[in-house]
Structure 1
């Protein structure tokens, strides 16, 4: 591709999105650039504090459990309080709880604060996704979610590289830097992102009162998507929990695993935007079917890998699945969500990934300890096949266009936090 073609492709990928999206995107990037703690928490607890690997696993599980619990609560807050207040509460709480975690010494205190960090850090996700759905036109949403996913991975790649250097100097510095950068995200939200929740009529308020968590649970098609997203997430999680253990048992070093898994981040950063241009207006049913199969059988190929290069090739396969699946699935969730219930629906969807993060280590442990790595990779293929069949059946009648009740996206502008009636002001786009 020539430089001119590349510039044109980049311009087309980022054009047409509202300024509010880019402030939200910036907040996401800054947040992920400062995500040091998750990268070296296990090393911090075992090497610096001298705790056992079992205790480190317990802390990680509590951190994940906090995320599971907060997913639903944050979804409700997003719909009732608004996107902006939820983001401010979540990011401010994350900033202070992460900083506090660096000063904890007693095992029970570390575990308790880690649980709070998990709750706070996961609470912003439903609000971010709901706000993007509010401010971006329906035809641009897959592209917007893709750009946001790209920012997450770019930030994580940089923070992962920097975490090691910071840890060599001071683990406490890592906690404080992450707290400061998360607080910077809250400041960006406070200064640049007014409330985006669509203005409500009296009829909308009555409808909103009827959209509770029970409504979400009774929505058969949506809960089917949530269940399928859990299966796909269960596969992708093996890149972080099953793959390193399997490679270690096969005689490979941590550095070998680092080289193989680095391909994941590099490919996402390099290919997320061009791949999104290719898939943006294609049938989400087939995109999810194909990505599920690529994920399952990409991990299945790991059973035949005998070198670092071969492992890296398998990572390429399931990374392509991840690039296609992430923005497509998030866009489908938005299309299936009622306008004034987006927070609750996004919270339920977020929870599926949080639960997968808890279940995946147990799954890989059982297979690797009792059956062998080949059975784990075979199970990934089976799960991917089931997910693909599920998407094919569930989405055959998915509307091709947004529902008629979908309001025109709003253009937000800086305004006072609230008006006399307590509702944030919105200017229709």
Structure 2
């Protein structure tokens, strides 16, 4: 990959206080993210649901996330980034407590959807806030730092959750809810509103008509749906495949903790270098590595084999996460930045629906080997598509830079 024109300066300027408050918020939120990695195991072991039913409930969380990303982006543009984040964190705490206490299937479905709906409102708001606060050349560094904070928390919470789950799954829900409340307090006390103001006499454009005419952006969103479908196998199909190989819940927690550990150790060492590469092509290569990393599951059946798989796809995840936010900020119009981030985030919500449904059903009906080979093939397909889209992304970035977007 050739170097891009935008690079991280040799001596980066200090990032603003509001950004570091977002960093702390992300860290706290992820430190308490105990429920998602163990939701399928909780439903199958504690609620005694079948694998496919548990996967469908996990997909309901993803269904809520699909709506959440779009609503969160719209809210952050119309009413403000800050209020959207507050709604997310305080609302998620309530939804988690309700999900953990739900006994009937209708209540489980409803509260799972609510967790997804409320839990991802903050994502487009945070991404838009970073783009509001920082210049284009600083964004890769900033998004990389947020990604690092998320995974520092994740590497700790996953191991802790594996231990806490042995004491009872209910504790996971309460601790996760508490971390959401603390994250909300950080936003309340330390993060100001950053939504760009419009010139007098102008009104905000409606989001959907603009997005629906943007074929390049929609193609990129579709590609990200494929990526998210692969990524969410780590939280649905992977724990079931490991259990099928006789590996315990604590082993899954430890193996998944490698994801956070690798990111925490490796990401700070490579983020400046990643910022010098062609961003859209780096996204493509990273997607390929993630797909092939999961594909390793087709030939492994012990803890160290799964650990190798996690390490490989984590390397791809680092490349993707470090630059995708900057790519989206580069191509989005400034007055619809939150909405564009939300629509792009919907790709992960759709992947959170498709991934658990496809993966768990494939595992149940076709077996682990066929499932993981299919994941690897999908990785190759989205790599080709994203690489082909790169020239159009560069043209849009240049156009926005010239117009001052």
TM-score, normalised with respect to structure 1: 0.83
**1:352 lines up with 2:367 in the alignment:** no
Map of 1:152-231 to 2, 5 A cutoff? 152-169=150-167, 171-202=169-200, 205-206=202-203, 208-209=204-205, 211-231=206-226
Structure 2: unaligned runs, 5 residues or longer: 1-9
Match in the other structure for 1:410? none
Are residues 13 and 298 of structure 1, via their aligned partners in 2, closer, same or farther at CA, if it must alter by over 3 Å?
A: farther
Residue of 257, 262, 267 corresponding to 1:272: 267
Report how far residue 346 of structure 1 moved. Answer: 0.9
Q: Deviations over 1:208-235 (max 9, x none)?
A: 22x4212112211111111111112222
My pick for the range that moved more, 297-306 or 61-70, is 297-306
Structure 1: how far apart are the matches of 2:357 and 2:318? Answer: 26
Map of 1:17-416 to 2, 5 A cutoff? 17-48=15-46, 56-169=54-167, 171-202=169-200, 205-206=202-203, 208-209=204-205, 211-250=206-245, 252-254=247-249, 256-305=251-300, 307-397=302-392, 398-399=394-395, 403-406=401-404
Contact 1:36-1:178 at 8 Å conserved across structures: yes
CA RMSD in angstroms, aligned pairs only: 2.6
Are residues 382 and 75 of structure 1, via their aligned partners in 2, closer, same or farther at CA, if it must alter by over 3 Å?
A: same
Report how far residue 363 of structure 1 moved. Answer: 2.2
Are residues 13 and 267 of structure 1, via their aligned partners in 2, closer, same or farther at CA, if it must alter by over 3 Å?
A: farther
Are residues 197 and 274 of structure 1, via their aligned partners in 2, closer, same or farther at CA, if it must alter by over 3 Å?
A: same
Report how far residue 76 of structure 1 moved. Answer: 0.9
Greater relative contact order (Cα 8 A, min sep 6): structure 1 or 2?
Answer: 2
Report how far residue 153 of structure 1 moved. Answer: 1.5
Report how far residue 107 of structure 1 moved. Answer: 3.7
Structure 2: how far apart are the matches of 1:249 and 1:47? Answer: 14
My pick for the range that moved more, 364-373 or 193-202, is 364-373
Report how far residue 157 of structure 1 moved. Answer: 2.2
Give the secondary-structure state (helix, strand or coil) at the position aligned to 2:92. helix
Contact 2:162-2:250 at 8 Å conserved across structures: no
Structure 2: how far apart are the matches of 1:314 and 1:115? Answer: 30
The structure having more radius of gyration, on CA atoms, is: 1
Structure 2: how far apart are the matches of 1:182 and 1:257? Answer: 24
Are residues 340 and 234 of structure 1, via their aligned partners in 2, closer, same or farther at CA, if it must alter by over 3 Å?
A: same
My pick for the range that moved more, 22-31 or 86-95, is 86-95
Q: Deviations over 1:163-215 (max 9, x none)?
A: 34444556544433332321222221111111101121036x34x22x42121
Contact 1:21-1:136 at 8 Å conserved across structures: no
Contact 1:45-1:51 at 8 Å conserved across structures: yes
Report how far residue 53 of structure 1 moved. Answer: 5.2
Contact 2:127-2:341 at 8 Å conserved across structures: yes
Match in the other structure for 2:4? none
Q: Deviations over 1:297-353 (max 9, x none)?
A: 223333333543333223222211110011212211111111011111111111101
Contact 1:275-1:323 at 8 Å conserved across structures: no
TM-score, normalised with respect to structure 2: 0.87
Report how far residue 368 of structure 1 moved. Answer: 3.1
Structure 2: how far apart are the matches of 1:241 and 1:43? Answer: 9
My pick for the range that moved more, 222-231 or 87-96, is 87-96
Report how far residue 38 of structure 1 moved. Answer: 2.4
Are residues 383 and 48 of structure 1, via their aligned partners in 2, closer, same or farther at CA, if it must alter by over 3 Å?
A: closer
